[in-house]
A and B are shown apart, each in its own frame.
Chain A
Amino acid sequence: MKSNKFNLPDSNGFFGEFGGKFVPETLMYALEELENTYNELKDREDFQKEFYSDLSNFVGRPSPLYFAERLSNHYGSGSIWLKREDLNHTGAHKINNTVGQILLAKHMGKKRIIAETGAGQHGVATATVAARLGLECHIYMGAEDVKRQSLNVYRIKLLGAEVHAVDSGTATLKDALNEALRDWVTNVDDTYYIIGSVTGPHPYPMIVRDFNSVVEISKIIKKYKTDYNQLPDAIVACVGGGSNAMGIFYPFIDIPETRLIGVEAGGNGVSTGEHAAPLNDGTPGVLHGARSYLMQDESGQIMDTKSVSAGLDYPGVGPEHSWLKDIGRAEYVAVNDDEALKAFHEVTELEGIMPALETAHAFAYLETLMKELPDTANVVVNVSGRGDKDINTVAKIDGIEF
C-alpha cells in the first residue's frame, strides 16, 4: 500500500490544489453515495475476490510484460519492455475500470448505465460489461468521433447499447462528457455513470485510478529486482485523461528511482497551439467537475483541441497528473501527430504488435528517451490498447480507400 505522503486524494477529493467536486447540486448526493459505496466495498474480501475473478476469467489478466527485442535493437541501447494491456478483452486497458465500476453499480442496485467515449474503447468496454449483466446502456460520443471511429460505434451497437452522437460544442470527447453529465443529472436516481478516465469529480479520479492499478506492477518490480537487481528506469505511458498512465504510475509514485513519463498529444505541434497537451501548454482551471490543467483562453473558455488520436483529443487531464507535474514527480512531454503515426508503423513492423494511435504517442517518445539513457536502462511502455480501431484513420492518412 501507499505511504501516507502519497495517500491522496484527501477527504474533499483534492490532490494538492487539484481535483475536488465541481458539479451541479443535483449530483452531490450521487457522488457521496458512490464514495460511500466504494469505501465500504474496496477492501472487502468478497468484493476483491469477485473483481479479481472477473479480471482473470473475463478480461484475461494478468497480461504479460514482454521484451521488445527488435524495437530495443532499433534504438541501439537499453531494453524496452511492453506491458500488454492491448491483450485484454476488448483490446485496451479500459476494461479494467469498467469491470470494477459495474460491480459498484450492481451493488448500488442501479439499472441503467451511461458512459462517455472518445476513441470508443471505453464505450465498448462499458457496453461489454453492461451486456454481461443485462443492464440498459447508453454511450455518449462526439459526432466527430462517431465518424472517425465507426468500427467501435458498430461494436457498441452490437453489444446492445445505444450510441448518442453529440453535436454540441466541438463534437468530441469533452462534449460527450458534458452530455453524459446532463443525462446523469436527469436520471440520477436509477443511473450509474461509468466515467472512463481519471477525470471528473471526486471520487472518480480515485476509483478509476485504483481499478487501473491492477497492472501487476508488484510482479514487474519483483521481476526486475530478481533478474536485474534494479527497478525500471522509466515508465512511459500516453496521457489523454490519463487513466492508463495513472494506473501504471500510481504504484511507483514513492519509488523515486523510476522516472514516470506521460506523453500528451502534440497534434500539429505544441508551438502551433493546435494540440491536446494541457500539461505542456495549459493553465489550471475547472472543467467537468475537477480543477486541473486545461487548454483555455484568457477568458476561461475551453479551447478546441487537435489530435489524430480520438482518445487523447481532450482539453483537460486527470487532477492527479496535474499534481504529479507540479510536485515534479512525473514528467509530461508531447509528441506530434506525424511522430505518433511513424511510431505506429514502426512498432507494427518491428514487433508484430499494432498499437492504438493513443499508445503510439508513448512509443514515439522512445526516439528521444532512448538516446538519453545508458545501455543498461530498462524502460517499460504501457501498451494501453491495440490499433485495430484506428485502421480506417491510418489508411485514410496513407491515402488508401477500402
Chain B
Amino acid sequence: MNRLTRTLNNLKDNNQKALVAYLVAGDPDLDSTLDLMHLFVESGVDVIEIGVPFTDPIAEGPTIQKAHDRALKNNISLKMIFDLVVEFRKKNDQTPIVLMGYLNTFISHIDLVESTSIIDSILVVDIPGELSLKDYGITNPNINTISLISPTTTDDRVELIAKNSTGFIYYVNLRGVTGSSNLNIDEIKNNIQKIKKHSDLPTLAGFGIKSANDAKMLSACSDGVIIGSSIVEMINESSNSKEFARIGEYLKEIKQAIS
C-alpha cells in the first residue's frame, strides 16, 4: 500500500476529508518549493500535488500558466523535481506526493518514473481517462493512476474511468481551465454521487475552489478538496519566503473549514 492509499484510508477511517494542495515545482525557485512543501504539511495538508511545468499547459488558466512559465525560465526538468522530492523525503517520508502534468514531459523521462519509490502518483491531464498509465509504458507498481472525471463525462465513460483508476478519482468541478469560477454545487453533488456508484475510491473535488467556504461546501459532498490556483497566486504575490506564512494561514483555514 503506498503513501497515498494509506493516507486516504486513514482519513476515511477517521471520518475526515482530505486537503490536497498544489504548487508548481520551481516557482519561483526550487528552494522555495521545498520550503512550501514542508509548510503545506505543517498547515494540515494531507497530499501534496506538484505541477510539472510544461510549455503548453492546455488545461491551465492564466495563473498556473504563468507559474509554468516562471518555472521554465529556471529550466526546471522532471529530473530536478525528483531531486527535490529526494530532499523533501529526508525530513518527510509520510506525506503522499502526486505529480500533475502533461504526457510529453513524463514520456520523455520514463526511466525516472519507472524506478521511483518517492512519488506516489502521477496525474496526466491530457490522457483519456479510460486508459491508465500502463498504456503509456508506466508500469511502476508504486505509482497510482489518478484519472479525471468532468461534468461532461458520459455515464458509460464514468464507469470505464472509475474501473481504471487507483489512488483517487479527481472530479473536475467545472467546464473550464484551472482557476475558473462559477461552481455549480448541485451538479457537482449529483455527479460525485454517480461516480460513487461505480467506485469505492475516494473522490476529491478540484478546480475553481477559491475560499474556505467553497471548500466547506464541496467537502460535504466529496472525500476532499484540491486547492491550486489560489495558492499559486499567493506564491506569486510573495516577494520573499517570509510572506509564505500567509499561505500557511490560508491552508489552516481551509483545513478547519472541511473538518
Contacts and interface: CB of A to CB of B under 8 A. Distances in A.
Interface of A: 21-30, 32, 168-169, 174-175, 178, 181-182, 185-189, 285-289, 294, 296, 298-302
Contacts of A289: 126
6 contacts: A22-B127, A25-B148, A25-B150, A25-B172, A28-B129, A300-B104
A187 B174 CA distance: 10
Given A178-B58, A188-B175, A285 B77 contact: no
Contacts of A186: 175-177, 180
A25 to B, nearest CB: 4
Contacts of A24: 58-59, 125-126, 148, 150, 172
B184 interface: no
Contacts of A285: 104, 107-108
Contacts of B175: 26, 185-189
Contacts of B157: 28-29
A26 B105 contact: no
A133 B106 CA distance: 43
Nearest to B103: A286
Nearest to B161: A25
Given A29-B153, A299-B105, A301-B72, A287 B127 contact: no
A300 B177 contact: no
Contacts of A187: 175
Interface string B48-92: 000000111111111001000100100001110000000000000
Nearest to A24: B59
B56 A25 contact: no
B97 interface: no
Contacts of B62: 168
B56 A174 contact: yes
B256 interface: no
Given A24-B125, A186-B176, A287 B108 contact: no
Nearest to B101: A300
A14 to B, nearest CB: 12
Given A26-B150, A299-B109, A286 B126 contact: yes
B141 interface: no
Contacts of A22: 103, 126-128
B152 A181 contact: no
Given A186-B180, A288-B58, A300 B108 contact: yes
Interface string B97-121: 0000011111111000000000000
Contacts of B125: 24
Contacts of A23: 58, 126, 128
Given A285-B108, A286-B107, A28 B69 contact: no
A185 B176 contact: yes
A287 B153 contact: no
A28 B156 CA distance: 12
A299 B78 contact: yes
Contacts of A300: 54, 78, 104-109
B65 A168 contact: yes
A175 B69 CA distance: 13
Nearest to A26: B150
Contacts of B105: 299-301
Contacts of B54: 300-301
Contact of A30 (B58, B152, B180): B152
Given A25-B149, A25-B150, A301-B72, A169 B55 contact: yes
Given A25-B153, A299-B108, 10 more contacts: A25-B149, A28-B152, A28-B157, A29-B153, A169-B69, A178-B56, A178-B57, A285-B104, A286-B107, A302-B56
B154 interface: yes
Contacts of A169: 55-56, 69
A27 to B, nearest CB: 8
A299 B107 contact: no
A32 B129 CA distance: 14
B137 interface: no
Contacts of B61: 182
A186 B78 CA distance: 29
Most buried by A among B57, B127, B172: B127
B148 A301 contact: no
Contacts of A294: 104
A32 B160 CA distance: 15
A298 B108 contact: yes
Contacts of B69: 168-169
Given A25-B172, A186-B177, A286-B126, A296 B108 contact: yes
A302 to B, nearest CB: 4
Given A186-B180, A288-B58, A26 B172 contact: yes
List of 10 A-B pairs having minimum Cβ-Cβ separation, nearest first = A300-B108, A26-B150, A186-B176, A300-B104, A300-B105, A25-B148, A302-B55, A299-B77, A24-B59, A22-B126
A317 to B, nearest CB: 15
A288 B56 CA distance: 8
A29 B107 contact: no
Nearest to B102: A286
B104 to A, nearest CB: 4
B79 to A, nearest CB: 8
Contacts of A27: 152
Nearest to B59: A24
Contacts of B57: 178
Contacts of B108: 285, 296, 298-300
A294 B55 CA distance: 13
A44 to B, nearest CB: 25
Given A25-B153, A168-B65, A286-B107, A182 B177 contact: yes
B68 to A, nearest CB: 9
B69 to A, nearest CB: 7
